[in-house]
Amino acid sequence: MSVRNTPRQGRFVTFEGIDGAGKSSQIAAASKWASQAGWELVCSREPGGTPLGEKLRELLLHEPMHLETEALLMFAARREHLAQIIEPALARGAFVLCDRFSDATYAYQHGGRGLDAAKFAALEQWVHPTRQPDLTFVFDVSPDIAAARLVRGRADADKFEREQQDFFQRVRQAYLDRAASSGGRIVVIDAGQSIEAVCAAVLACLQERFG
């Protein structure tokens, strides 16, 4: 009898929060955890993740544009990212870590900029009708603390990093609202704690869900 080796089911984990919430060090810790747990690791980011997506990222982060153009380009980059990177990796059984995904469009374009919620929902339904992350971390921190971490106003700050505190307050609230209705997919972590405490919370959650 022949035994077919089916790969284990892939996992899709995303990292979110306002600019300056401290995602990067947590993504590094989660990557290490996944590698040590024996997963094939795929680390990516949005907007970006593919050659086309990275070109769109340049435009999105630096070019002024209409709010709906911004939302459409975010989802265009995402469509390419799903087709080229995310879906093939999940089909191989990889552990996919992504720095931002559609929750960022909900928080920034809907919450921050006022994109109509129905238009967001239509784009999400079009681009990934059946795919959602298995787990999403939202690193929650006050815009004051985040701003201090970012040293906002530095010369190379992008379009989003130049936004004011009230924008980030709306983005933060949109993340919290989305988390509350996510049925446990989105885990909110207090990112005002020390990096070590945040990291411990992330690793404990990964271990509990996928260990």
Minimum CB separation from ligand TYD for residue 75, in Å? 8
Minimum CB separation from ligand TYD for residue 182, in Å? 16
Give the separation between CA 140 and CA 156, rounded to whole angstroms: 24
Identify any residues that bridge with 13 across adjacent strands, giving them in sequence order: 97, 135
Largest CA distance in the chain: 66
SS3 content of the chain, % helix, strand, coil (to 5): 55, 15, 35
Q: How many CA atoms lie within 13 A of 60 on its CB side?
A: 23
Q: Which of 13, 30, 46, 206 binds ligand TYD (CB under 6 A)?
A: 46
Site size toward ligand TYD (CB under 6 A) is: 11
Residue 16 sits in the site that holds ligand TYD (CB under 6 A): no
Q: How many CA atoms lie within 13 A of 79 on its CB side?
A: 12
Residue 210 sits in the site that holds ligand TYD (CB under 6 A): no
- Binding piece for ligand TYD, criterion CB under 6 A, among 30-38, 105-113, 174-182, 198-206: 105-113
Chain residues binding ligand TYD by CB under 6 A are 19, 46-47, 74, 99-100, 104-105, 108-109, 160
